[in-house]
Chain A
Amino acid sequence: MPKYTFRVNGRAVSADSWDPAQPLLYVLRNSLGLHAVKFGCGLGQCGACTVIIDGRAARSCSTPVSQVAGRSVTTLEGLGTPERPDKLQAAFITEQAAQCGYCTNGMIMSAKALLTRTPNPTPEQVKQGLGGNLCRCGTYTRILSAVLRAGKA
């Protein structure tokens, strides 16, 4: 089986895949045990599967594993831990910016990429920047507050 080597959360990993078209999502979740990334639609429409690849937010459901070879992937697990959440995660916790939490991975990862480009976004920039991330529970206003909080901090 072909092997793909890339970096995940700072560590070199290699993953086998019988299919070069296998989306990164399945490799992260099932081969590497990184479950923060979520399957929402598999169609690039909801953002639940967002990870950061070489500094940019990417949809792992529509990124073939073969395209990730040699690149650097960051998942939610790579930001912080429950004991030591990173600044953005801490802001989400302070704002209690989750209901079911299924969208949370994508929201945080998209916001992370946004804050890298735009460290102090306006509310409108956050709304547009996270425009591809859906939240069915309607936690948007809290997510907005959390991202703004992290931006200011």
Chain B
Amino acid sequence: MNRRDFLRTSSVVVVSFAFDGVMPETAAPQTTNPGKPIDPREVDSFLAIHADGAVTIYTSKVDVGTGLNIAMAQMVAEELGIPVDRISVVEGDTALTPDQGGTGGSTGITRGGVELRQAAATARQALLKLGVNADMTNVGAIAGGKRLDLKVDPKAPLKNPSSYTVVGKPVLRPEVRKKCTGTTVFVQDFSVAGMLHGRVIRPPSIGAKLISVDEASIRSIPDARIVRIQNFLGIVANDEWAAVRAAKSLKTTWSESQTLPGSDMLDRHVRASAVERDETLVNRGDPAAALAVTAKQLSATYWWPFQSHASLGPSCATVDFRPEGTTIWSASQGPHGLRANFARVFGIAEDKLRVIFLDGSGSYGSNGNDDAAADALLLSRAVGKPVRVQWMREDEHGWDPKGPPQLLEIRGGLDAENRIAAWDTQMWLPGNVQGSRPLLAADDAGIPQPHGRTAGQISQNGDPPYAAPNVRVVVHWLKDTPLRLSNLRAPGKIANVFAVESFTDELAAAAAIDPVEFRLRGLTDPRAVDVIKRATEMIGWEARPSPNSRPQQGNLRVGRGMAYVRYKQMENYVAMAMDVAVDRSTGKVNVRRITCAHDCGLVINPDGLRNQIEGCILQTLGRTLHEETTFDRSRVTSVDWKSYPILSFPEVPTVEVALIDRPMLPPMGAGEAATAPVAAALANAVFDATGMRLRRVPLKL
């Protein structure tokens, strides 16, 4: 890294030489401290202006296929006043990017993008003072390759959204061109000199102990070397196929035990599990008293099983372990968190550990990426060479941390005017345990580590978004849960909205009122009303109570359903409607058409946003129709695409999305919200078609 003398050009702004514009993004040999500013209070941590006027932005928020990079580039381009194609993004490199937190909870835009925008706004003011002209054509000549040495000014004026020219435009994501031509370097494709291929032989059951390894069983496989650290067992080889073959062929004996309850009737197990503590999230009025006197009362129980990220490509990482500085190449959504945790667990100083994000197969929270990195780290440390580990399919489905099982019981009552008079939600959810999620490799290798547990903010959206004078939401936080947990896309909200919006539909049916009308009667927020009207108009909603009195269409029964959410009760407004046809003889649910109206405030990139919303809908359709992680007393048994099917191409419905842009409001993330109404809209449509209320996922007739 070149450094030159300070160059004082104004009394306000100190400009000093920073970089020559070429950052060692992924190149080896690595240095854990290239000297680039990364303090999130400094403008230079976020932005580098190059001599040719191009700009690199640096962010810890990573784009896992969500279109976040282009959205951030648009926000910066708009605020700086330079063309968006002059901006490139360096993401998720602990040595180069400021720590803006991991990527999750739909915070990529709301925190990542908004912080970058403020840095850009600060930079623009400084650059104008330096003599850069308003359209920034001389920005390279004046400020290229120099540091601004400025604190991010939280008050730096932002452009008025009414004058936006870049934000709000469907700019193409440049990476799509690379992905479609096979030129993206995914973490799965990355290699460094001298790298070996590794595979890990996971225990045949959770907690099994390794008794013996028959080294002779892989003698015929060239160069395959066994690494054993207590119960951690891996293979490294020059040739990847040799590593795969050896890992498969290696004869081992383990002592096994039965530690799991099994996934059959897991809901009963959950209901009977020991409760750590109860938490009352909402307590308004007196639901118990009100329920007792309501005109109509209903109660229902809803169930959501463990689910896997089921990333299409198994997790992968390459680690070059060296005493002078270790580098991890990973598609983890939280490079900084990964570094902090690995530093603690493996006893490496944080400043001697660099994590570099590379594109991976889509993840929707924390899949197996961190664990694959831990595997690679132990192997690299053992053999003194860089090691790449890619999990096999059964590793990913079997061992990725899972989305939590959720059980909800709702009771509610209607008054004489068929309004919601009382509502009571009880949830049984796995409780949090402080600390990081345990790494499989560290546990297997007997390395002490925290055994934290969280699946994210899984108790949100358990209350109805409709007017109701008496509401209580109580969570029974459970002491234990059978499998490792992860914050899987829209953590908890999908199941909670499934329950709340199904129950709302049940109330509407009990009142014999059209489901849309029933909801609108309890809403005053115009943004809520807008999305509901829009989504249902798009599908040609027939106003009548459910179920459909004339569902017959040949062998099929047809119906429509809808659901609404205000995500986290404070973010996006999403309404969704579906047309379904159910074959009563086979029980097959055919989703024909889905409409969605989506309001996330200011829209940054409408096409990227649509892509996310479509993905949210289709992925969750699969989660609702098919997905359940199954396990017996010892191990996960849904370990491939046959035993854990996801949505397949022939099942794909027509999807129509309406974006409601609110340019004067802050932008919200959109990687999750549209997942939340899917399951309920589908269950409600199935009810409309068949009169059968499905309260368990995966939905089975």
Q: Which A residues are within 8 Å of any B CB, using their own CB?
A: 17-19, 22-23, 26, 29-30, 34-43, 45-46, 48, 75-77, 79-82, 85, 89, 92-93, 96-105, 108, 126-128, 130-131, 133-144
Specify which chain B residues have a CB less than 8 angstroms from the CB of A141 in the assembled complex: 614, 618, 652, 654-655
Say which residue of B186, B239, B312, B650 sits within 8 Å of A136 (CB atoms).
Answer: B312
The reply to whether B614 and A139 contact each other, CB–CB distance below 8 Å, is yes
The reply to whether B181 and A45 contact each other, CB–CB distance below 8 Å, is no
User: Does B607 have its Cβ within 8 Å of any Cβ on chain A?
Assistant: yes
Specify which chain A residues have a CB less than 8 angstroms from the CB of B654 in the assembled complex: 141
The reply to whether B180 and A100 contact each other, CB–CB distance below 8 Å, is no
Specify which chain B residues have a CB less than 8 angstroms from the CB of A98 in the assembled complex: 65, 176, 179-180
Specify which chain B residues have a CB less than 8 angstroms from the CB of A23 in the assembled complex: 241
Instruction: Find residues 582-638 in chain B having any chain A CB closer than 8 Å to their own CB.
Output: 607-608, 611-612, 614-619, 621-622
Q: How far apart are the CA atoms of A153 and B182 in the complex, in Å?
A: 22
The reply to whether A99 and B362 contact each other, CB–CB distance below 8 Å, is yes
The reply to whether B312 and A39 contact each other, CB–CB distance below 8 Å, is no
Specify which chain A residues have a CB less than 8 angstroms from the CB of B181 in the assembled complex: 36, 76-77, 79-82, 85, 89
The reply to whether A30 and B392 contact each other, CB–CB distance below 8 Å, is no
Q: How far apart are the CA atoms of A137 and B239 in the complex, in Å?
A: 31
Nearest residue, chain A, Cβ from B393: A41
Specify which chain A residues have a CB less than 8 angstroms from the CB of B362 in the assembled complex: 99-100, 102, 136-137
Specify which chain A residues have a CB less than 8 angstroms from the CB of B611 in the assembled complex: 96, 99, 139, 142
The reply to whether B650 and A128 contact each other, CB–CB distance below 8 Å, is yes
User: Does B434 have its Cβ within 8 Å of any Cβ on chain A?
Assistant: no
The reply to whether B642 and A45 contact each other, CB–CB distance below 8 Å, is yes
Q: How far apart are the CA atoms of A22 and B178 in the complex, in Å?
A: 28
Specify which chain B residues have a CB less than 8 angstroms from the CB of A85 in the assembled complex: 177, 180-181
Q: How far apart are the CA atoms of A144 and B184 in the complex, in Å?
A: 22
Which of B172, B182, B188, B392 is most buried by chain A, counting CB atoms within 10 A of its CB? B182
> Residue-by-residue, is B185-206 near A (CB-CB < 8 Å gives 1, otherwise 0)?
1101100000000000000000
Given contacts A23-B241, A136-B362, A137-B65, contact A102 B186 (CB under 8 A): yes
Nearest residue, chain B, Cβ from A143: B649
The reply to whether A138 and B618 contact each other, CB–CB distance below 8 Å, is yes
Q: How far apart are the CA atoms of A64 and B505 in the complex, in Å?
A: 54
Q: A93-B176, A136-B310 are in contact. List 12 more A-B contacts (CB 8 A).
A: A30-B239, A36-B181, A77-B182, A92-B180, A99-B67, A101-B180, A102-B186, A134-B648, A136-B362, A138-B614, A138-B616, A140-B618
The reply to whether A19 and B241 contact each other, CB–CB distance below 8 Å, is yes
> Residue-by-residue, is B421-459 near A (CB-CB < 8 Å gives 1, otherwise 0)?
000000000000000000000000000000000000000
- What are the nearest 8 A-B pairs in CB distance? A36-B182, A138-B618, A101-B179, A100-B65, A100-B362, A99-B65, A102-B361, A35-B189
The reply to whether B182 and A35 contact each other, CB–CB distance below 8 Å, is yes
The reply to whether B188 and A38 contact each other, CB–CB distance below 8 Å, is yes
Q: How far apart are the CA atoms of A36 and B186 in the complex, in Å?
A: 9
Q: How far apart are the CA atoms of A100 and B180 in the complex, in Å?
A: 11
A50, chain B: closest CB distance, angstroms? 12
Given contacts A35-B189, A140-B618, contact A41 B640 (CB under 8 A): yes
Q: How far apart are the CA atoms of A97 and B615 in the complex, in Å?
A: 11
Q: How far apart are the CA atoms of A97 and B314 in the complex, in Å?
A: 21
Q: How far apart are the CA atoms of A130 and B244 in the complex, in Å?
A: 28
Specify which chain B residues have a CB less than 8 angstroms from the CB of A140 in the assembled complex: 618, 647, 649, 652
User: Does B486 have its Cβ within 8 Å of any Cβ on chain A?
Assistant: no
Specify which chain A residues have a CB less than 8 angstroms from the CB of B242 in the assembled complex: 18-19
A115, chain B: closest CB distance, angstroms? 15
Q: How far apart are the CA atoms of A105 and B181 in the complex, in Å?
A: 8
A58, chain B: closest CB distance, angstroms? 17
Nearest residue, chain B, Cβ from A16: B239
Specify which chain A residues have a CB less than 8 angstroms from the CB of B621 in the assembled complex: 138
Nearest residue, chain B, Cβ from A144: B652
Q: How far apart are the CA atoms of A96 and B360 in the complex, in Å?
A: 18
The reply to whether A89 and B180 contact each other, CB–CB distance below 8 Å, is yes
Q: How far apart are the CA atoms of A65 and B242 in the complex, in Å?
A: 14
Specify which chain A residues have a CB less than 8 angstroms from the CB of B608 in the assembled complex: 96
Specify which chain B residues have a CB less than 8 angstroms from the CB of A19 in the assembled complex: 241-242, 245
Given contacts A23-B241, A92-B176, A134-B648, contact A48 B312 (CB under 8 A): yes
B556, chain A: closest CB distance, angstroms? 17
User: Does B59 have its Cβ within 8 Å of any Cβ on chain A?
Assistant: no
The reply to whether A75 and B182 contact each other, CB–CB distance below 8 Å, is yes
Given contacts A81-B181, A92-B180, A142-B614, contact A101 B65 (CB under 8 A): yes
Nearest residue, chain A, Cβ from B243: A26
Nearest residue, chain B, Cβ from A31: B239
Say which residue of A30, A37, A82 sits within 8 Å of B177 (CB atoms).
Answer: A82
The reply to whether A45 and B640 contact each other, CB–CB distance below 8 Å, is yes
Nearest residue, chain B, Cβ from A89: B180
B161, chain A: closest CB distance, angstroms? 24
A141, chain B: closest CB distance, angstroms? 5
Specify which chain B residues have a CB less than 8 angstroms from the CB of A139 in the assembled complex: 611, 614-615, 618
The reply to whether A41 and B641 contact each other, CB–CB distance below 8 Å, is yes
B562, chain A: closest CB distance, angstroms? 20
The reply to whether A136 and B361 contact each other, CB–CB distance below 8 Å, is yes
Which of B359, B392, B615, B622 is most buried by chain A, counting CB atoms within 10 A of its CB? B615
B183, chain A: closest CB distance, angstroms? 6
Say which residue of B64, B240, B313 sits within 8 Å of A30 (CB atoms).
Answer: B240
Q: How far apart are the CA atoms of A30 and B185 in the complex, in Å?
A: 14
Given contacts A18-B242, A100-B362, A104-B180, contact A38 B614 (CB under 8 A): no
The reply to whether B176 and A96 contact each other, CB–CB distance below 8 Å, is yes
A34, chain B: closest CB distance, angstroms? 8
